[in-house]
Amino acid sequence: MKTVKIGLLGLGNVGGGTYQILTENKEIIEKRTGLTPEVVKILQRSRGKKRLVEVPDNLLTEDPDDIIKNPDIDIVVEMIGGIEPATSFMVQAMKEGKHVVSANKAAIAANYRLLTNTAKENGVEFLFEASVAGGIPVLTAIQNPLQANNFVEVMGILNGTTNYILTKMTEEGLPYDEVLKDAQAKGFAEADPTADVEGIDAANKLSILIALCFGKHIDPTAIPTVGITGVGADDIKAAAESGKKIKLIGKASLRDGMVEYMVAPTLLDEKHPLAGVSNEFNAVYITGDMVGELMFYGRGAGPLPTGSAVCGDILKIMKEKF
């Protein structure tokens, strides 16, 4: 069976999950693609860090060029996070003729045109299903089976941390600070929760959804963004009394040919399909001119759900290019 050689940039949550899936589900992947995926090199810069998965020492490197410039590697998977050096690594890898898969919403939202153009110029695939809503295959849906639609609106619960906090505030009547501390203790929120609670992470994901639905790149810093730090227990109580729920929503709509967009805490009627999306779950609600309303629901984060989306992209490249 022919082998497709893969290099991983990063071995954190997503990198670990991806490695685990490629290893544990090798048999079903071989059966479905007729090819063997083989991870031949992994960039891990902080060797001392506790790892989620066991990886043979000889696969690890601290030099990104061992992957990016490695003539043996077919697919480079970028899971470092952050805008740089991730963007430069991806651009270099594409210029070396490698297909690139990324889970990195910050880098893609900031450099969408550069990355997609570099892929085109070098005749390689650039796929990033994992960058929005983790394991939920919403980008594939937009880019393939829904392509005969003009998109009218895309809105979603795009950040699991803030949805977990708002759910606990709603169900248990607790104040924001207390729930945040609990979420941090349980690993649902980071020590520095700024990117999540201020809506920055959701704005990155919305920027990518806008690019795919409406063919326009809006820099995420240009998206009007309000986080959840100003949402009080009183607001949630008042909402409930009028049959509504408060959710952090990223939303983009087409109005008179213009795309309007924002990220903000939003009142949703309790009957709206997004109102029932609780805890750390994500969901994306899309309206197309022909298909009408659709919702995609699932786990927006976590090593295995996100790794599932990364591996889906890897398998797509394996099937189409090898």
Report, as residue numbers or ranges, the catalytic residues.
205
Question: Considering the rule CB under 8 A, would residue 28 count as an interface residue with a second copy?
Answer: yes
Number of residues that bind a second copy (CB under 8 A): 48
Q: Compute the least distance from the CB of residue 44 to a second copy, in Å.
A: 22
Rounded to a whole number of angstroms, the distance between the first and last alpha carbons of the chain is 12
Give the residue from 181, 184, 137, 188 showing the smallest Cα distance to 161: 188
**Would you count residue 104 as binding a second copy (CB under 8 A)?**
no
Work out which of 1, 2, 48, 148 binds a second copy, going by CB under 8 A.
148
Out of 53, 254, 276, 322, the only residue in the binding site for a second copy (CB under 8 A) is 276
* Minimum distance from residue 87 beta carbon to a second copy (Å): 24
Closest CB 302 distance from a second copy, rounded Å: 8
Should residue 304 be labelled a site residue for a second copy when binding is judged by CB under 8 A?
yes
- Residue 124 binds to a second copy (criterion: CB under 8 A): no
- What residues contact residue 77 under an 8 Å CB cut-off, 6+ apart? 6, 7, 8, 9, 15, 18, 100, 101, 102, 310, 314
Which among 316, 322, 315 has a CA at the least distance from the CA of 29? 315
CB atoms under 10 Å from CB of 157, counted, come to 27
| Residue (87 or 282) nearer to a second copy, CB | 282
- Interface residue with a second copy among 13, 33, 70, 225 (CB under 8 A) is 33
Going from the C-alpha of 296 to that of each of 124, 156, 287, the distances in angstroms are 28, 9, 12
Strand 151-157 relative to strand 244-255: parallel, antiparallel, unpaired? antiparallel
Q: Is 34 in the site for a second copy (CB under 8 A)?
A: no
Burial of 159 (0-12, 13-18, 19+ CB in 10 A): buried
Q: Which of 78, 129, 196, 201 binds a second copy (CB under 8 A)?
A: 129
Quick check: 242 binds a second copy (CB under 8 A)?
no
- Closer residue to a second copy in complex, CB, 43/146: 146
Contact 167, 308 (CB under 8 A): no
Cα distance between residue 317 and residue 322, in whole Å: 7
| Binding site residues, a second copy, CB under 8 A | 17, 21-22, 25, 28-29, 32-33, 129, 135-137, 140-141, 144-150, 273, 276, 288-299, 302, 304-305, 307-309, 311-316, 320
